[in-house]
Amino acid sequence: MNNEHKTRVAFTIATITTAAIISIIFTVRRRTRRKQLESSSNSCYSHSEQKPQCTFKRVLADNSYTPFKHLSFNASGSNDEKGSNLHPFEAEITALLTNNHQPEIELGAKKLEMNDSYVWVDTEMQLKELVDVLSNERFFGVDTEQHSLRSFLGFTGLVQISTQQDDYLIDTIALHDSMEILRPVFANPSICKVFHGADNDVLWLQRDFHIYIVNLFDTSKACEVLSKPQKSLAYLLETYCGVTTNKLLQREDWRQRPLSAEMVQYARTDAHYLLYIANCLIIELKQLDNENTCSDDKFHFVLEASRRSNMICLQLFTKEIEASPGESAALSLYSRHQSNQGSPSISDETQFLYTVRQLCTWRDLMARIHDESLKYVLSDQAIVALASQLPASHSKIYNTIVQTDVNAETGLTSFIPSPSPVVCSHLSDISQLLANELVKHGDIYSVILQKCLGQKGSCKLNIFNYALLVNSNLRPTLSYKHSSLKNPRQHSRKASRNLFVKKFSCKSPVYHNCRIFANDGRLLCYCDRKKLEWYLSRDLAKLVDEEPPAIMLLFEPKGRPEDEGNDFYIQSKKNICVGCGEGNHYLRYRIIPSCYRIHFPEHLKSHRSHDIVLLCVDCHEAAHAAAEKYKRKVASEFGIPLYVRRVIHPGQETEKLNDEGGVSPLQLRSAALALLNHGPRMPLNRREELTEIVKRYYGGREISEEDLESALQVGMRPIERRRYEKKRGVSFKHSTGNAAAVPEGENHADCAPRVSNVDTLNVDTLNGSYANEETRSGDNRQDDSGEPSLISDLAVDKATSNGNTILIKTTDDDEDDHDEAVNVDESLNRKQQNVVSDLSDSRDEESLRDEDSTQAKHHSKLSLLGHGPHGKQVVDHLLKEYGEDGVREFCQRWRQVFVDALKPRFLPGGWDVKHRI
Ligand code: AMP
Ligand code: MN
Ligand code: ZN
């Protein structure tokens, strides 16, 4: 045979073999699939599959809805597994931060290159030996790899540790239950742990092993401080070590044993060079510090890198617990689908959203029960396809999923079987769900839990899911209490949170960090662009810097911030939540509740920027809850009740009058407003509920339309009342009595039931949990002169401003965004109305918009401010008894409440509970 012939024969054989193998694979697959299909409801794949994490004897983070418990130490110093939610090493880390800890890395003569030998650690004995080695080191490099496809929360598959001498690869699957041996070296403040981009690693180590890091040097933070063009490890490896690494390997399946040579190489590379790189970066940081010694600029590069690194250690792992499982996924899926022009239009949008939400809830629970990731259970695109096509039979469901996933297939997802074994084992759930038959009574949560893990459950009980069953009383209840999932019209709390973030959080950065300099070059304050433009347009200043812009005043300001010995106002402020550092969304939070502050004497109202901070929605809610609680404490301490007590209408007697009987003005007004506007068209029980609230205020007697109207005015400040009265003629023409005269857009027959769904208690919830402090009517801010805010901010003394004497009150940042603030407050009121309608039903977008604009026109001026006269009475009392110092102390108390509630870690430097004017 000549060579050509040989090749051809070989090729033919290869082709035939391949074809045979492929056809065998397909037959086998088809058979298994069919088997899975047939046996779907009785047995689950989880019985036959042994996943590596099933060998773990103890897991710290299971898949239940209980919060993660952090390591805690009881008084005797031994571990107390009950756990707390404080950082167990907060004191040690804070000590490093406050003592200006300096990282020291001195490298010996060991060659940088990576040789062939490394230590694979997979027995407890070896791990103990490693601990002995590490205890004698002053620094070591660390990296971790995790697996997340076949696990709900993910788990650490490998920990790499490199000393100057050796590279260790720790098999964290084999040693999962022994890893705690490493806790002491990681928490030892005299051993520096070098990571690159430790944010995730820190959390993963907590989650899986209760390992907390004290004394961290993060090379990516050092890059940040050095303003390196890039801060990826790949960049550092290349520039400092001349090593290239293939970052695609981070996506490998790190459960694999043995690891491929490539993976070993990758994993070692991630840790091996860290010490060398850290050393180079520290030298550069030190150089900058040395160059900087003469200036009085306080920036210290080495310290800053170390500080930023150790801040990472303060992060705590938390399980994301939704009030309604799968809800956020459903919302994001739904909105993505809506914004996707290419997607087929759906005839019944309400049914579609409902099904998407049910499928997301189902997926969330199934992922927890089977300890799989969401995307492994069922892809997003498959959920959309199922919800829009509503296939009925098992095989149609099956095909819909396969086809959608094949179409969407991108290189990597092809590793995920479609449909997943989870779907195959539980096809009947999906078909019932799509037919609206899964949840007939009870909620989807208990139905599925019973089906899967109950006494005759189809699925395997394991260490990750048993707590779901045990703690089923701890399941998320909020939205299920009213079995909202049965009612596609109601949004869950999570959904309202998302809406809230979308609608209320600041759309653009609040602090622009533009600078204003005095004419001698001293920095006066930071402010927004509008303010700069105001000065520039009046030739009161000249531009001295472009990005971020800075101006220099052309006149001598009367006051300087440093006069007051306070450098708070010249700190650059970050657009992040001061509580947790969240940077994606934030809203203003007023530390001193407005119900008090608005009654302060004018000169004590300044320094607002100190007491207005940015918070993410979650911190906002926590801070607000603490403030509400403290308000109650203030109420009892001063004997000034928070709520309007049940008021006895002239000539009426009440039967029972107890302390619980109060109605907040807000609640009262929301209820009255809804009754006036939508009363006749409301479902009866809703109307009764609202009527009950108003009746309670009137001491239980029957109420008339006039009562409703006067209830609207309860707790209004005079200015609001005047406005309301001015508006009244217009606003309530529609709503008083004449049901036919509803605003346009509500008049369509098909809108009526939806409109009737308006749920004023949502207003209350919103106000109660978020909006209250934000809801201020703009009265004292709106000046008729139309002059911009800066006037009041920099208080131009009108009499003398021509003579260039301008008094600078650099103190009042709140007024910085004066005109913005007016808009914010007003639009907030308007938005609030939007949210009311948004939350209360899910009518289609168009009628929603109509409704919004009508409502906005009607009520935009109606402020829904907290507790009637309480605030004023408290402030009056303080002033009378203790004078202005009483008010100052009162402010300090509120700052303390805020600090105690949030333990904020990102407050601007100079912020102080004791802050005085
Ligand atoms: P690294 O230290 O960069 O190797 O990343 C650590 C772990 O983060 C990996 O084991 C992955 O589990 C995860 N990871 C990081 N980046 C990605 C990515 N782009 N895609 C998937 N997983 C990633
Ligand atoms: Mn890595
Ligand atoms: Zn199952």
Determine the longest span between alpha carbons in the chain, in angstroms. 118
pLDDT in tens, 436-448: 888 776 678 888 9
Tens digits of residue pLDDT in 866-906: 456 788 889 999 999 999 889 989 989 999 999 999 888 88
Three-class SS of residue 618? helix
By percentage, how much of the chain surpasses pLDDT 70?
65
Residue nearest to atom 16 of ligand 1 (CA): 250
Q: Can you tell me the mean pLDDT for 237-263?
A: 94
Task: Report residues whose beta carbon is within 6 angstroms of any ligand 1 atom.
Answer: 143, 145-146, 148, 250-251, 254, 270
Top mean pLDDT of 44-58, 80-94, 148-162, 667-681 is at 148-162
- Ligand 1 atom nearest to CA at 158: 10
Is the pLDDT at 395 greater than 90, yes or no? yes
Q: How would you classify residue 883: left for phi > 0, otherwise alpha for psi between -120 and 50, otherwise beta?
A: left
Mean pLDDT of 705-717: 75
> Could you tell me which residue, 876 or 80, shows the higher pLDDT?
876
Question: Angle 199-209/301-313 helices, nearest 10 degrees?
Answer: 30
Confidence of residue 228 (pLDDT cuts 50, 70, 90): very high
Confidence label for 324 from pLDDT (cuts 50, 70 and 90): confident
Of the two residues 438 and 474, the one the predictor is more confident about is 438
User: Cβ(475)–Cβ(361) under 8 Å?
Assistant: no
pLDDT class of 622 with cuts at 50, 70, 90: confident
Q: Is the pLDDT at 147 greater than 60, yes or no?
A: yes
Q: What is the pLDDT confidence band of residue 809, given thresholds at 50, 70 and 90?
A: very low
How close is the Cα of 131 to the center of ligand 3, in Å?
40
- Quote the pLDDT of residue 284: 95
More confident residue, 230 or 915: 230
Q: Distance from the CA of 41 to the center of ligand 3, in angstroms?
A: 9
Give the model confidence (pLDDT) of 815-864 as tens digits: 333 333 233 333 333 333 333 333 333 333 333 333 333 333 333 333 33
Q: What residues have their beta carbon closer than 5 A to ion ligand 3?
A: 44, 425, 459
Indicate the pairing of strand 550-553 with strand 514-517: parallel
509 or 873, greater pLDDT: 873
What pLDDT sits at residue 375? Answer: 93
What's the burial of 537, exposed, middle or buried (CB within 10 Å: 0-12/13-18/19+)? exposed
The residue with greater pLDDT, 665 or 391, is 391
Which of 179-193, 204-218, 614-628 is predicted least confidently? 614-628
| Tokens encoding 860 | 């935009």
Return the pLDDT at 579.
Answer: 84
Residue 78: its pLDDT value, please? 47
> Angle between the 617-638 and 870-902 helix axes, to the nearest 10 degrees?
130
Atom number, ligand 1, closest to the C-alpha of residue 147: 12
Residue 596 pLDDT exceeds 70: yes
Amino acid at 352: F
Q: What is the DSSP letter of 95?
A: H
Length of the chain: 917
Q: What are phi and psi of 577, to 5 degrees?
A: -70, 125
- Of 317-331, 370-384, 502-516, which gets the smallest average pLDDT? 502-516
Let me know: does 309 contact 217? Beta carbons within 8 Å. Answer: yes
Q: Which helix (H) or strand (E) holds 201?
A: helix 199-209
pLDDT value at 70 more than 60: yes
pLDDT of residue 561: 55
Distance (angstroms) between ligand 2 centre and the Cα of 809 equals: 52
Name the residue among 672, 666, 673, 665 with its Cα closest to residue 858.
673
Identify the residue with better confidence: 301 or 560. Answer: 301
Whether 793 has a pLDDT exceeding 60, the answer reads: no
Long-range contacts of 850-853 (CB under 8 A, 24+ apart): 850/744, 850/745, 851/743, 851/745, 851/746, 851/751, 851/755
Mean pLDDT of 154-168: 97
Q: From the CA of 145, give the closest atom in ligand 1.
A: 10
What's the pLDDT score for residue 14? 64
How confident is residue 550, by pLDDT bands cut at 50, 70 and 90? confident
Question: Which of 4-13, 166-175, 207-216, 367-376 bottoms out in mean pLDDT, i.e. has the lowest?
Answer: 4-13
Q: What is the best residue among 250, 264, 373, 413 to mutate for testing ligand 1's pocket, by most ligand atoms within 8 Å of CB?
A: 250
- What is the residue-wise DSSP string for 815-838? GGGHHHHHHHHHHHHHHHHHHHHH
Cα separation, 611 vs 614, whole angstroms: 10
pTM over 0.85: no
Give the rounded distance of the alpha carbon of 839 from its chain centre.
Answer: 20
Residue 904 is predicted with a pLDDT of 86
Best residue among 145, 194, 255, 262 to mutate for probing ligand 1, ranked by most atoms within 8 Å of CB: 145
* Mean pLDDT of the region 521-544: 78
Residue 292's pLDDT band (cuts 50, 70, 90): confident
CA distance 572 to 655: 59
Q: Whose alpha carbon is nearest atom 7 of ligand 1?
A: 145
pLDDT over 70 at 484, yes or no:
no
Distance from the Cα of residue 843 to its chain's centroid: 27
Contact 362, 528 (CB under 8 A): no
Determine the pLDDT at residue 436: 83
Residue from 150, 251, 254, 274 to probe ligand 1 pocket by mutation (most atoms less than 8 Å from CB): 251
- Percent of the chain predicted with pLDDT > 90: 33
490 pLDDT exceeds 90? no
Three-class SS of residue 526? strand
- Are 405 and 413 within 8 A, CB to CB? yes
Q: Is the pLDDT assigned to residue 414 strictly greater than 60? A: no
Per-residue pLDDT of 454-469, as tens digits, reads 888 899 988 899 888 8
> Are the beta carbons of 514 and 816 closer than 8 angstroms?
no
User: Is the confidence at residue 195, as pLDDT, over 90?
Assistant: yes
**Residues 221, 236 contacting (CB under 8 angstroms):** no
| Ligand 1 atom nearest to CA at 267 | 4
> What confidence category does residue 472 fall into, taking pLDDT thresholds of 50, 70 and 90?
low
What span, in angstroms and rounded, lies between the C-alpha atoms of 548 and 528?
Answer: 10
